[in-house]
Amino acid sequence: MEKVQVQAEDRNAWVFGFTPQAEIWNGRLAMIGFLAVILTEALSSEGVLHFWGLL
């Protein structure tokens, strides 16, 4: 019998297009952005739009 090797995809690879890797990176960056908004509001005692002077 012949052994078949299956090449596993690197889930952390930076791949462009609609791929599972792109969706994983999209989720990670969204979590970082959400955390940045929460920290900005908590540390400055005002909303992000007020912090940036947009309101």
Q: Is residue 8 part of a domain?
A: no
Say if residue 42's pLDDT is above 90.
Answer: yes
Query: 36 in a domain, yes or no?
Result: yes
17 in a structural domain: no
Task: Confirm whether 28 is domain-assigned.
Answer: yes
- Let me know if residue 40 belongs to a domain: yes
User: How many separate domains does the chain show?
Assistant: 1
- Residue 47 inside a domain? The answer is yes
Asked, for residue 11, whether it belongs to a domain, the answer is no
Residue 5 has pLDDT above 80, yes or no: no
The three state secondary structure string of the chain is CCCCCCCCCCCCCCCCCCCHHHHHHHHHHHHHHHHHHHHHHHHHCCCHHHHCCCC
- Domain boundaries, position 47: 23-51
Res 55 pLDDT > 60: yes
If you average pLDDT over residues 12-40, what whole number do you get? 89
Residue 33 has pLDDT above 80, yes or no: yes
pTM of the predicted model as reported, rounded to 2 decimal places: 0.66
Over residues 25-35, mean pLDDT: 95
Question: Has residue 1 been placed in a domain?
Answer: no
